[in-house]
Structure 1
Amino acid sequence: MSLAIHQLHKSFGERPVLEDINLQVENGEFVAILGPSGSGKSTLFQLIGGLVLPESGTIELNGEAVNGKKGLIGYMPQTPSLFPWRTVLENVVLAAELKEKPDYQEARRLLQKAGLADYENAYPNELSGGMKQRVSFIRALLSNQDVLCLDEPFSALDEFTKLTMQKWLLSIWEANRKSILFITHSIDEALFLADRVYIFSKRPAHIKAEIKVPFSRPRDENLLETTEFFQLKQQIFKYLKEEISE
């Protein structure tokens, strides 16, 4: 499923947040958003999810306007937001449970692929940070939505765990090919994961640049050490530095 945003404007009172945002995620594409803190990236996800309405502009899924419509995308927040009284298995089927009968067989298959087969009856307080994030992502996958919005899901993890999670995310995405819009503050993470990267300006945010990531797939961590990766990283860093220094 494709996602397209046209001429989107959003303000809160007299404070403009997003200004003339135009972006798209093609079917099965992985797109990242980079930008300064407070530039409105999470507000964009609230708009896509139908939680708030824009002043103007349209949000389209497969060409159909969905402004203000809820329940059409899968969402993974910065924190796992797992219910402590529900087991791992009960947590991952929650989104599907709210809409239809959960597919426990598929849930167990994904838990096994995530290395969590032995934890399906465990509770969140028994899991590490990386394990909780895997549970949260599987829950988003099982929502049966073809567009997933991931809001800095690995920001709280240490660098080694983060890289492990990034590689795991890519392996799951390549098997399922959901359309993903991914917010991050890490240039390395954006370039390692995405097909394209949108760079947001400071607030009120507009799109400062769109970068096509030229690296082939599948990707591995050796990419992070290449000259090509470093040069593209420096280019993006200059865009972001301009926003911070202005």
Structure 2
Amino acid sequence: MLLNITALTKTYTISGKLITALNTVDLTFSENSFTCIVGKSGCGKTTLLRLLSGLEPATSGTIDYGNAAKIGFVFQEPRLMPWLTVNANIAFAAKNDSSLPAAPDEKLLELLGLKAFQHSFPAQLSGGMAQRTALGRTLFQNPDLILMDEPFSALDYFTRRSLQQML
């Protein structure tokens, strides 16, 4: 078991009204699995990912991370540091983790189609290239669990399909 969720609930109070974003969710994720959470806008998908990543606390319930020691997150928006190059944005986690290399290897850059742009800054990238840089930042860390919140929404069909197959 990689991850087990039991009776996970998240409520918010908005303008004095209690809103239930998630109501007693039970899920188990196995190692080496690929799971998609699908639903309408506003149904709680992003809330679930934010809880799993520790970005916000659950109202109740438990999350057992099992064998998921390192978690990576790819947001809907790239959230790149504008003063860092593609290489530096991808390797950003290496600043606080000495087990990581100082820079991404050529194989990762080629896989993401960013080799020719590794010294470019975010303002010089297309939206799809920026999103691929954000994906590279997560893959660079070699996490046990990757959480992705609509990571390919800014990509063209061909790039989206290629990255889906790669993952």
User: What TM-score do you get using the length of structure 1 for normalisation?
Assistant: 0.60
Gaps of 5+ in 1: 65-70, 174-246
Q: Which amino acid letter does the alignment assign opposite residue 34 of structure 2? A: F
In 2, Cα distance between equivalents of 1:120 and 1:152: 24
1:139 maps onto 2:137 in alignment? yes
Q: Which amino acid letter does the alignment assign opposite residue 135 of structure 2? A: F
1:57 maps onto 2:61 in alignment? yes
- Other structure's SS at 2:36 match: strand
Question: Which residue of structure 2 aligns with residue 84 of structure 1?
Answer: 82
Question: Which residue of structure 2 aligns with residue 20 of structure 1?
Answer: 24
In 1, Cα distance between equivalents of 2:58 and 2:103: 39
In 2, Cα distance between equivalents of 1:40 and 1:162: 26
More helix by share: 1
Q: Which amino acid letter does the alignment assign opposite residue 5 of structure 1? A: I
In 1, Cα distance between equivalents of 2:67 and 2:119: 41
Question: Which residue of structure 2 aligns with residue 129 of structure 1?
Answer: 127
Mapping for residues 210-229 of structure 1, pairs under 5 Å: none
In 1, Cα distance between equivalents of 2:35 and 2:143: 16
In 1, Cα distance between equivalents of 2:27 and 2:19: 22
In 2, Cα distance between equivalents of 1:166 and 1:43: 26
Deviation at 1:16, TM superposition (A): 1.3
- Other structure's SS at 2:113 match: coil
Aligned residues: 163
Question: Which residue of structure 1 aligns with residue 41 of structure 2?
Answer: 37
Percent identical pairs in the alignment equals: 36
CA contact (8 A) 1:77 1:151 kept: yes
Q: Which amino acid letter does the alignment assign opposite residue 6 of structure 2? A: H
CA contact (8 A) 1:49 1:73 kept: yes
Q: Which moved more, 1:12-21 or 1:162-171?
A: 162-171
Question: Which residue of structure 1 aligns with residue 109 of structure 2?
Answer: 111
Greater length-normalized contact order (CA 8 Å, ≥ 6 residues apart): 1
Q: Which amino acid letter does the alignment assign opposite residue 52 of structure 2? A: I
In 2, Cα distance between equivalents of 1:59 and 1:11: 16
What's the Cα RMSD here? 2.1
Q: Which amino acid letter does the alignment assign opposite residue 166 of structure 1? A: R
CA contact (8 A) 1:154 1:165 kept: yes
User: What TM-score do you get using the length of structure 2 for normalisation?
Assistant: 0.86
Deviation at 1:140, TM superposition (A): 0.6
Mapping for residues 159-238 of structure 1, pairs under 5 Å: 161-171=156-166, 173=167
In 2, Cα distance between equivalents of 1:121 and 1:18: 42
Deviation at 1:63, TM superposition (A): 6.4
Deviation at 1:48, TM superposition (A): 0.6
Deviation at 1:106, TM superposition (A): 4.4
Deviation at 1:107, TM superposition (A): 3.5
Distance 1:124 1:165, change over 3 A: same
Q: Which amino acid letter does the alignment assign opposite residue 91 of structure 1? A: N
Question: Which residue of structure 2 aligns with residue 8 of structure 1?
Answer: 8
